[in-house]
Amino acid sequence: MQIKSAVFRISARDLAAAPEWDYPEFAFIGRSNVGKSSMINMLSNKSDLAKVSATPGKTQLLNFFIINDQWCLVDLPGYGYAKVAKSEKINFNESVGDYLEQRENLRRVFILIDSRIPPQQIDLDFVAWFGDCGVPFSLVFTKADKQSATKIRVATESFLARLPEHLKGVPQIIVSSSKERTGRIDLLKSIAQMI
């Protein structure tokens, strides 16, 4: 799939503020700092479409980007970040939860997992919860440029081994590096299948 245009359209604080339109949506979720915004920039061929930061908690709203005037990438706030004001944190988590559970436009969710570290309980809990929402999802192991292929394989296998039995084998697995543009074709193919 060729990316001909990528345009930021709107930031929404919650599901009620999300736009009403017919674009199929593809959302990116995962722990703060895992690389969601970087991945949106990599996919869209624009270095500064979504805001990236080395400080966790950068993305705080639901951000909608229209691609080829045909479909939509949604950059979501990360989970597991404690330093935002408590009221805000709860609010954003609720907004993300509402969006993921109730958004009719949502076609597929990419759940990003840091490939450098052993399975984290918060990620396992998130996948276990989302896996029962009924929306197709992929597990994307990020920052693959930072370690060997062997270590990445161990990371993906040990993560899958700890998923609830009924979810093992369900998600599509993608290994990615936004820095080296790895996984881009698989991600775009996965999107193209659902448009």
Q: Which alpha helices (H) appear in 140-183, and where do they start and end?
A: 149-161
Which C-beta is closer to ligand GTP: that of 132 or that of 180?
Answer: 180
User: Interface residues with Mg ion (CB under 5 A)?
Assistant: 36-37, 58-59
Q: Which of 74, 177, 187, 190 binds ligand GTP (CB under 6 A)?
A: 177
The span from the CA of 171 to the CA of 186, in Å, is: 14
- Give the three-state DSSP class for 179: coil
Q: If we measure between CA atoms, which residue out of 94, 101, 103, 97 comes closest to residue 20?
A: 103
For residue 50, how far is the Cα from the chain centroid?
A: 13
Residue 73 one-letter amino acid = L
Which C-beta is closer to ligand GTP: that of 33 or that of 44?
Answer: 33
143 is a contact residue toward ligand GTP (CB under 6 A): yes
- Give the three-state DSSP class for 161: helix
58 is a contact residue toward ligand GTP (CB under 6 A): yes
Which C-beta is closer to ligand GTP: that of 138 or that of 178?
Answer: 178
CB of 101 to ligand GTP, least distance (A): 20
What region does 146 belong to: left with phi over 0, alpha with psi -120 to 50, or beta? alpha
80 binds, among ligand GTP, Mg ion, none (CB under 5 to 8 A by kind): none
Residues constituting the chain: 195
CB of 169 to ligand GTP, least distance (A): 26
Stretch that binds ligand GTP, among 5-13, 15-23, 142-150, 154-162 (CB under 6 A): 142-150
115 is a contact residue toward ligand GTP (CB under 6 A): no
